[in-house]
Structure 1
Amino acid sequence: MAAASLQETFGQKLLRRASAAWYATRLYALTLPRQAPLELPVLPDEAWPGSVANADRLFQGRFVFAGVEVVSPRAAPWGMTAAELKLDAISHAAWAAELHGFRWLRDFVTQGGDMARRMARALVGSWLEKHAMQIQGLPWRADVAGRRLAHWVNAAHFLLDGADDKFAHDFLLAIARHTAHLNHAAKRAQPGLPRFAALLGLVYGTEALGQPQQAVMQALCGALETQILADGGHVSRNPSQLYRLLREIVALWRFLLALDPGRAALLQVFLDRMAPMLRFFRHGDGGLALFHGGQEEVPAQIDQLLDLSDAKGKPLNSATLSGYERALARRGLLLIDTGAMPPMLPDAPPPHRGLLSFEFSHGKDRLIVNCGASRRVSGGWSDALSGSAAHSTITLGQAEPAAAARISATRNEQDGAIWFDLEHDGWWRSHNRLHRRRLFLAAGGEDLRGEETITESPPSANGGMPVEAVLRLHLHPGVHASLIGSGDTVILKSASGQGWRWRGAGGVVRLEDSVYFGHTDNGGADAPRRTQQIVMTGSAGETPLVFKWALSKIG
């Protein structure tokens, strides 16, 4: 499996650190170009729109990245430490990587105008003064330098238009030095996304300088092979990560098409695999499902990406390598997480533990969802949202399911109806329990039923200690819920005004508050929306505990 290639060996880590020490020396700096090119022979246009709102925040000195806002109205906070910002090391590193990665340049490009151009040049110029000649620390980490070079090259038309001779000289020299440096450093970058980012910047740099290298393109494709599974999913199992990576590949592919269709063709296989998988995760409203750190993203931008990718493949029903099932019955869509936890990576958010969680939508109405993910990579919300309680699934006691849980999934179809028999043993070590889940979607797409069974495995002679089981079905913020009757029925009103009835048996039913982190229009900071969740509780003891529930459209 591709994920195995993401683990850095001790020898690779040692070599990377030794290389970083060498890069920081004055002698190494002298090996990099000292003469700026007169021009860049070829340049791409910025492929993707930025955020005018974020450009306005940057004008105000508000630097909002990775869920953290830093206010610095007098100067860019290039060197602010974790202690100064009162952040833990992981959150600070994520914020600083985005700051020094310069993806936000596209926000100024989208805003346009002379003021935005001058502000963008001022920020690039201040970075050059502080960091251009000192190749050390996080600003020059291979992945950060690669992202920065890619975004500089994509924004070069915008930055150089009307620039004075000094800025043009310093900027062009920096592109040449970045490219030469990445020619050494990219192959030493951490495996996975960091190496891809470093190689992506190197490809843009060599192409812009008119020095394309087939070996670099092949290395980039090799890095992608460690990221993209055969069914098109990303090893992180995060739909948003798949979306972001596809954006990078499509932008580069379109740039290369104009230069050398042969080099562009190397990327075609990834477009053909990834675009159908991105369609797999789309709900009827056009946004993405919330699994493993994903957010809804912007439907219009997803449409644009899929159009530009020119990949027409249809989504699979069973993406077994990625660990997902998709059931579409007329307007009803059921998406189920049937895979294992993704690998834990350094300086990354904790993996999500929503084993066998699902989302359900009807038309443009999202009904049952997961809670989503914090933009901040550690602490607080990030830890809470990675737990099983933030997903539409069962929790058992206070324990989280084991990372090495075994999961089985069987799909059945007949006369348009689709149902699944699912099981995981994530609580076998902590509670000697199995969770079996059956989900049934009727052919009309308006009747979803579930059966949750918690059973001992193997049964103990005297019966195991009882443990509380909690079924949580998180509702989208657009849904209003009311508990009625004898307390086992919930009436839902969707965002479009459609009525639904949920009924449960086998446990105590109640409505509780929940949160939703699925939206992306909050400027990069965490902005949870209040919502509700249907909760059913019971005690799993000597005999199996069975919850049964059904969700059906009214009328």
Structure 2
Amino acid sequence: MIGAKLRLSSLAARQSGRRALARLYISPLLRWRFGRGDPEKLLLAPQDLRASDPTRAAEIVSGRYTFAGKTINLNEVSPFVVTPPSPVWRETLLGFTWLRHLRAADGTAGRTAARRLIGEFVRSSLRFQPEVLEPVLTARRLLSWISQSPLVLDGADRGFHRAFVRSIAWQARYLLQAGSASADGMPRLTCAIATAQASLCFSDKVNLRRPATRWLAAELGRQVLSDGVHISRNPQAVIDLLLDLLPLRQSFAARNVLAPPELLGAIDRMMPMLRFFRHADGAFGAFNGMGYTQTHLIATLLAYDDARGKPVQNAPHGGYQRVEGNGAVLLVDTGRPPPLAVSHNAHAGTLSFEFSADNFRIVVNCGAPAQGRENWRHLARSTGAHSTAIVNDTSSSVFAEGARKPGMAGRVILSGPRTVTVKRETTPAAIAITASHDGYEGEFGLIHQRELTLSQITGALEGRDSFLDGKSHDGKRAPWKGTQPVLLRFHLHPAVAARPANGDTQIVLTLPNGKEWLFLADVPFTLAETAHLANPEGPRRSTQIVTALPPGENTISWAFLPAEPV
């Protein structure tokens, strides 16, 4: 723990130094450096793969701004001068990701509103404030402005055109210098992507393109693992990166510039992950920061998948396993927590799993809440919010805030499972995964081992959880003799109805299509209330199955079986 705290202190010192450097770059003495020369001509606008919403467009045109669940109604007042209802609302406004919706506005209303809002930003004094020029915020704004430049510049006068292009060029040059001040992981990679994209869109930006391409290649090589999982282990990162990298690849081709091998390789490795993390209903597994799945984005990205093959089954570097059988899908987290610097959104969910069948998710994790629901985020990251074992109501990873208790899982992960073993066995009848982790060894002397077997014939899932002594005896693990309470949680999807049956010896699970599944276990179990957090409209009430390890025992066996046809 002392070593982890030293690493945390070192990380905080590095981040403080980077922020100070970024503030230096926007000081009045150095602003001129990024604004020298006449602005170049924009030669191309990369495609924005994110969809536009005509309803959102109509709201923005009428002066109604809804971001992160908060709404402000304005008439003639600029949104850049009002007091924001929340920090996330302000970040969304200043990132301009909403600009794409104005493409869907009727007539010239969208173009007029886009120019008015960008003009208000460019003329305002806040454009040089440190919070506004936070590197990752600048990167998102830069990508939005470039991709929507045809909308913005259509019918624009010469003065606006010049101010708009000059601002893009200034932000791109600034980002190349200050982007390293952003947090490691997705924020820094987004800065590299935005700088490279801007360098390709201008007519003459060779001096910017070369260092931007080198920076991009270095970050992609470091952050996209060999199996296509992002270093943060968040499945959402795969979606977000491909939405930005696919247009960037097109820009390299459009300018007849050789794309770096790291870019092409990263895309090739990540595309199969779109199918790897997908359930039978199209949603992604809710692991390590993944929230609600925008399935239309997945469909858009899959259109660029030339292979269109069966998804890979093993992501050893990212720490995930996938098993399929008779229409059922099993996803398992078999990885250690990500590196400390990129663990801000990681969850303590080692050995948790999700299970879907008959085109519906049955067992899930609670998932990450939507923006504006930050009060739920700490709870979502705890082990109790995952379909796995929890010991003494304590998470398997230690967070920087509040140690390991639910509701106090904040900031980075200081420590967690150090050794996670995985073995996969395949037969014609079933595929079995046996995995273990030592996240509870230090505090409770316990090793959690989980065996999951998915039938290739029926799609049934059978499991066995064992709790072993942390000390080895002749290469074998003895049964754990601790007395702390151990619970197994199986969080059910909100669309699944659950009721006890057969004298409380089993639970009947009814899917939305009317099909029934059974849950059985060799120990007592109960139904309890839980919350499914991965929803855009907010947490939804749901049900969880809870089983407890009986005193003196060290294993729990259980199964999810399709009910016999009537």
Structure-1-length-normalised TM-score:
0.87
In the alignment, the residues of structure 1 paired with residue 8 and residue 248 of structure 2 have an alpha-carbon distance, to the nearest angstrom, of: 23
Would the alpha carbon gap of residues 482 and 179 (structure 1) be closer, same or farther in structure 2, given more than 3 Å must change? same
- CA distance 1:471–1:12, change in 2 (3 Å): closer
Give the Å deviation of 1:409: 1.6
**In the alignment, which residue of structure 2 is the partner of 1:354?**
349
Change in CA separation of 1:378 and 1:297 when aligned onto 2, cut-off 3 Å: closer
Match of 1:496 in 2: 513
**Cα displacement string for residues 6-31 of structure 1 (whole angstroms, at most 9, x for unaligned residues):** 99868854653443343232221223
Give the alignment partner of residue 512 of structure 1, picking from 524, 528, 531.
Answer: 528
Equivalent positions of 1:49-448 (< 5 A) are 49-59=51-61, 61=63, 63-65=65-67, 67=68, 69-71=70-72, 73-74=74-75, 75-78=77-80, 85=85, 92=87, 94-111=88-105, 113-131=107-125, 135-210=128-203, 211-212=205-206, 213-260=209-256, 262-263=258-259, 267-310=263-306, 312=308, 314-345=310-341, 349-376=344-371, 379-402=374-397, 403-405=415-417, 406-448=419-461
Q: Partner amino acid for 2:447?
A: L
Deviation, 1:169, is: 2.5
**CA pair 449-30 structure 1, distance change in 2 beyond 3 A:** same
- Equivalent pairs counted in the alignment come to 532
AA at the equivalent of 1:447: A
Q: Rate the CA distance shift 1:63–1:416 in 2: closer, same or farther, 3 A.
A: farther
Structure 1's unaligned 5+ residue stretches are: none
2: CA distance, partners of 1:272 / 1:160: 34
Question: Deviations along 1:274-311, whole A, 9 cap, x unmatched?
Answer: 00122100111222111111134233321221222535
Aligned residue for 1:466? 483
Q: Contact 1:513–1:530 (CA<8 Å) still a contact in 2?
A: yes
SS of residue in 1 equivalent to 2:543: strand
Pairwise CA distance, 1:116: 2.2
Report the 3-state secondary structure (helix = DSSP H, G, I; strand = E; otherwise coil) of the residue aligned with 1:126.
Answer: helix
C-alpha separation in 2, matches of 1:6 and 1:255: 39
| Residues 15-30 of structure 1 mapped to structure 2, 5 A cutoff | 16-30=18-32
Separation (CA, whole Å) in 1 of partners of 2:135 and 2:99: 19
Code of the residue aligned with 1:353 in structure 2: it is A
Contact 2:507 2:520 in 1 (8 A): yes
| Equivalent residues of 1:144, 1:197 under 8 A apart | no
Q: 1:447 to 1:38 in 2, by over 3 A?
A: closer
Shift of 1:379: 4.8
1:534 to 545, 548, 560: 545
Return the alpha-carbon distance in structure 1 between the equivalents of residues 145 and 535 of structure 2: 28
Q: CA RMSD in A?
A: 3.0
- Whole-Å separation in 1 of the counterparts to 2:47 and 2:463: 50
What SS class does the counterpart of residue 124 from structure 2 fall into?
A: helix
2:220, 2:262 within 8 Å by CA — same for their partners in 1? no
- Between the two proteins, what is the percent identity of the paired residues? 28
Larger mean CA deviation between 378-387 and 311-320 belongs to 311-320
The answer (yes or no) to whether the contact 1:475–1:532 under 8 Å persists in 2 is: yes
Whole-angstrom CA distance in 2 between matches of 1:7 and 1:203? 32
Summarize the Cα distance change of 1:170–1:331 in structure 2 as closer, same or farther, 3 Å threshold: same
Q: Is the 8 A contact 2:383 2:394 kept in 1?
A: no
Tell me the secondary structure at the aligned position of residue 301 of structure 1. helix
Change (3 A) 1:62 1:532: farther
Question: What secondary structure does 1:237 align onto?
Answer: coil
CA contact (8 A) 1:505 1:547 kept: yes
| 3-state secondary structure, aligned to 1:139 | coil
* CA contact 2:370–2:535 (8 Å) conserved in 1: no
Pairwise CA distance, 1:454: 2.5
Indicate the larger mover: 167-176 or 8-17.
8-17
Mapped to 1, the partners of 2:259 and 2:449 lie a distance apart of 48
Q: Secondary structure at the match of 1:467?
A: coil
Q: Please tell me the residue identity of whatever aligns with 2:175.
A: L
Q: Which has the higher contact order (CA 8 A, sep 6+)?
A: 1
Counterpart Cα distance in 1 of 2:353 and 2:545: 14
Contact 2:337/2:348, CA 8 A, preserved across alignment: yes
Displacement of 1:188 after TM fit?
4.6
The one-letter code sitting in structure 1 at the alignment partner of 2:318 is S
Supply the AA of the counterpart residue of 2:559.
Answer: A
Supply the distance in 1 between the matched residues of 2:187 and 2:9 (Cα, whole angstroms).
12
What letter matches 1:120 in structure 2?
Answer: A
Q: Under a length normalisation based on structure 2, what TM-score does the superposition of the two structures give?
A: 0.86
1:385 Cα shift? 0.8
Aligned 8 A contact 1:131 1:139 in 2: no
